[in-house]
Amino acid sequence: MNKQNLSQFDPEIYQAIKHEQSRQEENLEMIPSENFVSLPVLQTLGSILTNKYSEGYVGKRYYGGCEFIDEVEQAAIDRAKKLFGAEHVNVQPLSGAPANIAVYFALLKPGDTVLGMDLEHGGHLTHGHPVTYMAKIFNFIRYKTNDKGLIDYDQLRSVAIENKPKIILAGYSAYSRHIDWKKIKEIADEVGAITMADIAHIAGLIAGGQMENPVPYFDIVTTTTHKTLRGPRGGMIMCKEKFAKDIDKAVFPGFQGGPHENNIAAKAVAFKEALQPDFKEYAKQIIVNAKVLETEFKKMGYTICFGQTDNHLLLIDLTNKNVSGKEAQKALDKAGITVNKNMVPGETRTAMDPSGIRLGTPALTTRGMKEEEMKIIAGWIDEAIQNKDNEEKLTEIKNKVVELNKKFPLYPELE
């Protein structure tokens, strides 16, 4: 066995990790699907649990020596149930996309219809975009937002009545408003559809009591465990007990092999963190910070898609600024501010060079930044976009970003 430290054995990878650590320390991470895990979560991910194979489920493993693995996985399940009020939880999905795919295979036959949110209007690739393999197997149809930026529930109902989908899927990756879970449940009951919610982006806001929880109403709820939930990169499926057996079989052995128990243990640690009283304050501050950004961008004449934000993210249409999302992302990278280019409703450009940018506040809030910092950052973003071709100006902003971040150290224990 190699007894050397990483820095001794593989300085190339070690240096890449250290450079990424510096990038995260010095930049403003504003991609809304990104966050910073705690030191206990980091430690758990790098634990010796990575050595153990544990195909199967708690008390029903195919390999021996899983008694302590069972303790870890059961703790993750129990904490998730408590956090969301779920009847059944599967913590083995490797990420959000595999979780969604496992649900499809558990409940659908090839050719069955799923009604999900249009990608341009805030949906996710795994909700049936034509580029995905799932779209070749199942029939995905889409609902959209209306002129006010809200989900058009009348259109959703009309499409559901006309097409009789097997599943109605609610959830998003770029939509910034509340979802009326009860209304969608009513529509689903009317047409005899199974309800599925993808709360990957807002799981932490739900756990923190700041957004409504679909678990009491919906049959299936999937999520990632990173993003606002601030855990390791992974997935999870929650469901009513009547679907439990089919869901578990779809995850293993249907779709995945041995679970990553180091990751599941890190999920358990993150769930424990989310059960603490201060997590509610964190979730609340995420939304407060996002609302400050909204106010500042509106003052500066930016177009906020969907009218406003009710959660952790903003989707901004840059058309009236004569800048593409790709150009803005590139300029902001140089200024030390990380966002992502994104399509907007009624997109007229391409997915790789769209009209908008998507940004959010989970990671900045984790660092301890609040309203005053958001006002400053909004100004820097505007300045960078206006000076997208001015390298000197972008470097000047970058230096200011670095100085601000020094006041909010990320991992002082790792220095």
Residue 325: inside a domain, yes or no?
yes
Q: Is 310 a catalytic residue?
A: no
Same domain, 326 and 189: no
Span 168-185, pLDDT tens digits: 999 988 899 999 999 999
Q: What is the mean pLDDT of residues 287-309?
A: 97
Q: Is 55 a catalytic residue?
A: yes
Instruction: Please report, as a single letter, which amino acid is at residue 278.
Output: D
Catalytic: which of 53, 153, 217, 411?
53
Same domain, 179 and 94: yes
- Domain stops at, among 228, 247, 274: 274
- Of 122-131, 274-283, 369-378, give the lowest mean pLDDT range: 122-131
Pull the structure tokens for residue 307.
């009218």
Computed over every residue of the chain, the mean pLDDT equals 96
Catalytic: which of 61, 230, 233, 358?
233
Q: What is the mean pLDDT of residues 304-327?
A: 97
Same domain, 215 and 339: no
Q: How confident is the model at residue 72 (pLDDT cuts 50, 70, 90)?
A: very high
- Domain stops at, among 274, 302, 325: 274
Pull the structure tokens for residue 108.
């659908």
Same domain, 270 and 290: no
Q: Is 90 exceeded by the pLDDT of residue 148? A: no
Classified as helix, coil or strand, 185 is: helix
Q: What is the mean pLDDT of residues 34-51?
A: 97
User: How far is 392 from 383, CA to CA, in rounded Å?
Assistant: 12
Q: How is 237-263 classified by DSSP, letter by letter? A: EEE-GGGHHHHHHIIIIII--S--HHH
Question: Cα-atom radius of gyration of the chain, to the nearest Å?
Answer: 22
List 319's β-bridge partners, or say none: none
- Domain stops at, among 242, 274, 306: 274
Task: Give the pLDDT of residue 275.
Answer: 98
Q: How confident is the model at residue 1 (pLDDT cuts 50, 70, 90)?
A: confident
Number of structural domains (the chain) is: 2
Q: Is 321 a catalytic residue?
A: no
* CA 381, chain centre distance (Å): 22
Q: How confident is the model at residue 118 (pLDDT cuts 50, 70, 90)?
A: confident
Residue 86: inside a domain, yes or no?
yes
Q: Is 90 exceeded by the pLDDT of residue 96? A: yes
- Please, how many CA atoms are within 13 Å of residue 241, restricted to the half-sphere of its CB? 2
Same domain, 172 and 250: yes
Catalytic: which of 10, 34, 55, 152?
55
Residue 291: inside a domain, yes or no?
yes
Same domain, 200 and 340: no
Task: Give the pLDDT of residue 398.
Answer: 98
User: How far is 248 from 96, CA to CA, in rounded Å?
Assistant: 15
Higher-confidence residue of 288 and 119: namely: 288
User: How far is 169 from 108, CA to CA, in rounded Å?
Assistant: 13
Same domain, 65 and 208: yes
- Model pTM? 0.95
Same domain, 68 and 87: yes
Element (H, E) at 121: none
Task: Give the pLDDT of residue 174.
Answer: 87
Task: Give the pLDDT of residue 126.
Answer: 80
Same domain, 89 and 187: yes
Q: Find the CATH number of the domain harbouring 188.
A: 3.40.640.10
Span 98-111, pLDDT tens digits: 999 999 999 999 99
Task: Give the pLDDT of residue 260.
Answer: 97
Residue 369: inside a domain, yes or no?
yes
Span 359-401, pLDDT tens digits: 999 999 999 999 999 999 999 999 999 999 999 999 999 999 9
Q: What is the mean pLDDT of residues 108-131?
A: 87
Q: Find the CATH number of the domain harbouring 390.
A: 3.90.1150.10
Catalytic: which of 195, 224, 225, 309?
224
Task: Give the pLDDT of residue 119.
Answer: 76
Task: Give the pLDDT of residue 309.
Answer: 97
Residue 1: inside a domain, yes or no?
no
Catalytic: which of 198, 219, 248, 310?
198
Same domain, 395 and 375: yes
- Of 48-57, 116-125, 254-263, 355-364, give the lowest mean pLDDT range: 116-125
Catalytic: which of 177, 227, 341, 367?
227
Contacts of 109 (CB under 8 A, 6+ apart): none
**DSSP 8-state class, residue 227:** G
Contacts of 133 (CB under 8 A, 6+ apart): none
Same domain, 212 and 304: no
Q: Which domain holds residue 310?
A: 285-407
Q: Is 70 exceeded by the pLDDT of residue 415? A: no
Altogether, the residues listed in the chain come to a count of 415
Q: Is 148 a catalytic residue?
A: no
Task: Give the pLDDT of residue 130.
Answer: 83
Task: Give the pLDDT of residue 62.
Answer: 95
Span 7-16, pLDDT tens digits: 999 999 999 9
Same domain, 134 and 212: yes
Task: Give the pLDDT of residue 349.
Answer: 93
Q: List C-alpha distances in Å: 311 to 35, 171, 198.
A: 15, 13, 15
